[in-house]
Structure 1
């Protein structure tokens, strides 16, 4: 327990996000990565850090980040992830509205969790969507890394929706998604974005611990959809 407190304390510090951004910039320029890749990586770190801190302003950086990713994915044939980025822009706008609408005077939004029914329902939705999207990618789009690409896209869409509803389980999907992104980025040679995902994985674990603690403290409010 003490180790977890130290972990979340460190990752929640502004020093962590400054160091993480500096690492992305240093590595990005040293290996001659594209400006858009470096920019997306830095914006992504700030976005996830603000999100783990439960700040409404995370949605501003989220929109900037996914627009940059949309450009990258489209130009490299990762079509499912490009579609994911389009949806994520919409979910970021919806999440921004939902958080502002449901926040209290201190800009706090109640953290919720899924009911058992919700967990089963969403598991079925994720598996069904993965099967359909994977089929389209393999047989129609002939996309690269279709199986991983489609699963990552589905997890990302559901996670983004859960995030907008402030369900703490969104972090579980982001953790799984980040692990898959590590594999995809290694296969495609996106080394700066690989560093970003590694940092986001750390922040996602921190976010899960922080949000779950808030969920417990706020009375364990539960939703199905």
Structure 2
């Protein structure tokens, strides 16, 4: 599948689940502890201080997202893990992740933020885009299978890619939209889930809101 990478901008952070924050320090050698701490605090505030999400989403953050399926393919794991607070670690300064409940049955917005030193955010997004291309679908346990199609993402940050996954989870209809954005030194990942289908326009509104919060 051919995707267009658009010029956009964003920031990424290190380990946050629930209300806790964890330093990453892998590959970001040379940064003072105070710089890492400040970046972790910034990312935490983005997700935990009254996030400006679209109507219908709780502003009360929950623990980082964990995919309800086990992707055997490494490319698929890479793109899904990023939204759950397990972003690529090379030159990672800090990361944070949380989920927000929607008012549609089965609807969840999972947001991951990861901040990098140097120009690594740009390279990581390119790698994640390739991984997304390498994940045209996935099969996990019996009754769990998804197929991918392109998701238009519009103008987001400095660069952005997106995809839709539709299929069955343990035999039941399930869908998710995935958006990856780079804004400056930050990578923002968003997974928007639902039963049977997920509205692409609502996903785009979510993505714009998250990018605006991280700007």
Q: Taking structure 2 as the reference length, what is the TM-score of the superposition?
A: 0.29
Q: Which has the higher Rg, Structure 1 or Structure 2? A: 1
Q: TM-score, normalised by structure 1?
A: 0.28
- Write 1 or 2 for the structure with the bigger share of helix: 1
